[in-house]
Amino acid sequence: MTPTITAFERSPDRGRGLARDMRVRWALEEVGQAYDVRLVSFSELKEAAHRRLHPFGQIPTYEEGDLALFESGAIVFHIAQRHAGLLPDDAKARARAITWMFAALNTVEPPIFERSMAIIVEREKAWHEERLRLLEDRVHVRLGELSGRLGDANWLEGVFSAGDLLMVTVLRRLVGSGILENYPRLCAYIARAEARPAYQRAFEGQLSVFTGQPTTG
């Protein structure tokens, strides 16, 4: 059965692949699962029909028969469990890869997301610059730690996994900030991920929404 995911009808990122449907598209492309995309407006997100799928009125969602999921991490995990290619078969290696999925969403994404939100919603506040510096210090701590752990490896646990997929989508939120450039290993890590054909197909898919081209995967 072909799953259907939701994405913004008009993404605020104007096709830069920063909205969280990108993770889901990328995971589906990595495992070779075709999918349909239903575009949702901001007002539709908050309507009862969408809230039945997503209690917080957000994208992405994932529907497959009578299964409906929300939360990009849970959706990527579901895809990774159902198909080969995103989680190792070996039980310990699999647990390590899942650990990185949680680390991406629970430890690395929060400070990066806080920084983005501060820029969007707190820009006019008198204390904005001071708070931004504090938030960026926190981002630097995490990036330094992550870069140190990655070292010269291609991927966090040897082979590409759903952990790398989520981590890269989290890090990409910093593209253009001037922050990533302090971490050449992380820049190379992101570039390696972006070079993957599945990433490129997913990116084109979400970009086509912005440019008005077809949107099915």
Say how many residues touch ligand GSH, by CB under 6 A: 10
User: Residue 10 or 149: which CB sits closer to ligand GSH?
Assistant: 10
- Residue 177's alpha-carbon distances to 7, 71, 116, 180, in angstroms, are 25, 26, 10, 7
Please select the residue that binds ligand GSH; options are 5, 28, 45, 80, rule is CB under 6 A.
45
Cβ atoms of residues 18 and 207 within 8 Å = no
Give the distance from CA 149 to its chain's centroid: 20
Q: Does residue number 87 form part of the binding site for ligand GSH (CB under 6 A)?
A: no
Ranges within 139-158 binding ligand GSH (CB under 6 A) = none
User: Residue 73 or 88: which CB sits closer to ligand GSH?
Assistant: 73
To ligand GSH, the closest distance from the beta carbon of 217 in angstroms equals 18
Distance CA 190, CA 172 (A): 7
To ligand GSH, the closest distance from the beta carbon of 102 in angstroms equals 12
To ligand GSH, the closest distance from the beta carbon of 88 in angstroms equals 23
Give the distance from CA 193 to its chain's centroid: 12
β-pairing, 36-40 vs 61-64, is unpaired
Cβ-closest residue to ligand GSH? 58
- Residue 100's alpha-carbon distances to 6, 59, 167, in angstroms, are 25, 22, 8
User: Residue 72 or 206: which CB sits closer to ligand GSH?
Assistant: 72
Cis peptide upstream of residue 60 (ω within 30 degrees of 0): yes
Stretch that binds ligand GSH, among 29-37, 54-62, 177-185, 207-215 (CB under 6 A): 54-62
Q: Does residue number 19 form part of the binding site for ligand GSH (CB under 6 A)?
A: yes
Here the tokens at position 145 are 């730690």
**Which residues sit at the interface with ligand GSH, rule CB under 6 A?**
19-20, 45, 57-60, 71-73
